[in-house]
A and B are shown apart, each in its own frame.
Chain A
């Protein structure tokens, strides 16, 4: 397996090729019982015909081949330092992550350090603002405690505020934890030093999906959020504003029909927790207990703009429609009888990660899930769901 790793790294970090295309390649290889080495040894014809790759993709792959020896040196150095590299086909790769993110977003490769068994355990994520208030931190501590007592792993993103609290609390209560890095794994030296004992004792797994040498950046921090959600079976939100990483992550999660628990805020708090609850997140109290019936105070309701809420309803209607077929923007307006003009629909759809644009005139759109044939999904359906 190790002899494939340089090939895996090369594929995973090919620039300007979407994850969905990379995973499509992997799925086809998987189905044909071929290895990734076989793929790189194919002819251009095969890439074109058997993998439906564009000329542009092929030229990117060809320049990637030149990096293979260099990536061999990189892999050697990583393995020598005790990092473990898990391709998506590896039995150690988190099956929950594969299931949650699907072919479109599941990273083809994970870089890790620490106890891999943690990837097989039940997980929860606790997310929230970098500048969380006292309630949020207390909530985080409560949730982490409960999780640790129930042998659930706490997944967090190593940011300030809620992330840090989640990690420290999990360790305080002798639980297991996954740190999802917003950077390449070799650039996390201070963290490795700080959590050395927890790592070697098997309580912490450090995980990154980025190039091992990539340094921290806002983009990587944003791109890291879906990985946190993807690794978690349950998601707890301590505190969210109406924009930023936590917000978009939860919205994305709700759209994917995930169950998300949001802390019911105190009446005087200034955050968007209530908004998230209105969008379908489940309210929980400060100890994480589900609040079955919640009346929303007049005061709070007034913050919520009717128009905006309506806006999101339309968005999800459109996306649901696309799951059923391929449509032009005009057609979408007609079918759904919404008061958007087709241009607005086009603009909206172009910015959606889950939407595939079919570049023929007139432009057509469809949902990415439609592109996966049941058979192709088999790699992603394998061993799905965490062990119970």
Chain B
């Protein structure tokens, strides 16, 4: 097919008149059974480079993409054009995914989007034996490189797959963000005569700003004053999940229409928010970086970061979704440069901590290796056998697999990990090398913050785009700087907010009468944690009264004037009568009778000993009993505890009381920890 013929087809199927030269160059190579790495900025039209050939090939084009939101948007758009496209991912039920696999086997699907993790899925692997395959596409290909900014272990398998594919089988890898080092790495990994096509990365409609502040309050205040004034709708990225909650509650308090998004939400809620974002339902979505990559919204007018990303590549990638329509978009980055006693800037700490904590200790690697030398184990079994957190186990697993020390083997439908006979020693050199590289990248991000010259030029240079442009549109060139001025009015509001903002405990489930509860504070981000710690572990006596006041406030805000029949409390493990005494005080103030009938029937260990949810659940499962059942049947009760971590204890008691016929169980705690596992 020559370009003229292809463009006739293009018009017919996609409605476009012609290809860009770089698009056609790519497509022509794919037609010839070649391998191409395409590096082009967001909005260039990379997808067309595989979607068009896919419509011309005989069999199925498989697109590996880490972005579920993108799959959804693209499949919808393709279906509207009458091209049969589907996706398989973790958001759909097993049945839905299997149905699509069946359709694909019957040759009824042209383009199949699939999450790279699927390469580990047995139904998919079975199906790949029988499908008629015509092309493989690796979307967001920078994720296949450990030197890329978002390396995903599952993509390692895609690379292995590509290496095994027949030589004349077309393969396309695309990305918007690859430094030269990443480009070389991808080329090396995909091997087999790959051609790289690289376009210019400049985004001329971007207006880049950095706002240096001296406290977290200043960020909140600047946003309070200015968010509503920004044109259109956009995204605010906060560094952590907790911050998405705090920022969105702050805007809620101020009456600014925003919503919160993070990877902890269920698929349904995530979809709803993504759709709401598309239809400008909110001024801004407050999110971790889980949102945005792959969202096909052309008029995102601003993207604000309240924390610096890990590197300029991360930053370029995360702001990349703004202003795809070519109209001006504001990209604002906050940086708190207050120095602590050691001379370290506040906002440098979080990303630095991510880098330092990026790898578990060698002792923990050895733990996993040792248990796998005994028998093949699944992920949960490893967690139970080692008492390690899921996040840690996953990092360790990925590294051990990468180094060929263990393998993931299918045992029927379950996956188990096997130690390998010829396993090499754990190589920690590569970890250190990677850590140094990440630190270097973080320091480049700091360089961007402190830059006095064109910000876009810095980003393009960093990403290996050496084309010549005049770079304008930032607060170092032709735009005026944003500054923060603190007014008492906002300081007061902030104080008021702090006293009325309470973290929710999400524990509701279908089969339990337990409802979502409330905590008086976060454990780590206030003086509350320190006060609890003093009482619990440093013989500091009863919990201080200010905690009582705060807990009462939280209770009233969440439960209003609802009537309860009893207040019951979680029997202690090691902190004596602290919880009981506190509950008695609450009982007096609430004028709700206290019950001492919830007891432990056998010993439990302190939950904090256990590093993951499975072991926490095992620790408390079947360990409680209620002594006087008649007393509580059909009643509403408050369930009080001091600290809420994984929620395993509260949930266990919730289901027990449900069994005993309690009508409603309302959890109340002094503090919720941050980042509890599972």
Q: A residues within 8 Å of B by Cβ?
A: 2-3, 5-7, 37, 40-41, 66, 68-77, 79-82, 114-115, 186, 189, 192-193, 196-197, 199-202, 213
Contact = CB atoms under 8 A, between A and B. Distances in A.
B375 interface: yes
A196 B163 CA distance: 30
B90 interface: no
Contacts, number: 92
B245 to A, nearest CB: 39
B164 interface: yes
B115 interface: no
A180 B373 CA distance: 24
DSSP majority for the A interface? helix
B169 to A, nearest CB: 6
B132 A73 contact: no
Nearest 4 CB-CB pairs, A to B? A82-B407, A73-B128, A69-B133, A72-B164
Contacts of B169: 68-69, 72
Contacts of A3: 163-164, 167, 192
A168 to B, nearest CB: 19
B164 A76 contact: yes
Contact of B161 (A37, A76, A114, A115): A76
Contacts of B165: 6, 68-69, 72
B421 interface: yes
Contacts of B264: none
A70 B133 contact: yes
Interface of B: 119, 125, 128-133, 157, 160-161, 163-169, 192, 373-376, 407-412, 418-422
A70 to B, nearest CB: 5
Contacts of B132: 66
B376 A196 contact: yes
A366 B253 CA distance: 94
A189 B411 contact: yes
Contacts of B125: 73-74, 77
A80 B157 CA distance: 8
A76 B420 CA distance: 17
A73 B123 CA distance: 13
Nearest to B129: A70
Given A81-B408, A193-B411, A196-B376, A76 B119 contact: yes
Contacts of A79: 160
Instruction: Pick the most buried of A189, A199, A213: most chain B CB atoms within 10 A of its CB.
Output: A189
Contact of A81 (B167, B407, B421): B407
Given A6-B165, A80-B157, A70 B128 contact: yes
10 contacts: A6-B164, A68-B169, A69-B169, A76-B157, A79-B160, A80-B407, A82-B420, A192-B409, A193-B375, A193-B376
Contact of A37 (B130, B167, B409, B419): B167
Contacts of A72: 161, 164-166, 169
A26 B375 CA distance: 40
A73 B126 CA distance: 9
A200 B418 contact: yes
Given A80-B157, A201-B421, A73 B129 contact: yes
B133 A80 contact: no
Contacts of A82: 407, 409, 418, 420
Nearest to B192: A3
B600 to A, nearest CB: 38
A77 B167 CA distance: 19
B117 to A, nearest CB: 13
A2 to B, nearest CB: 6
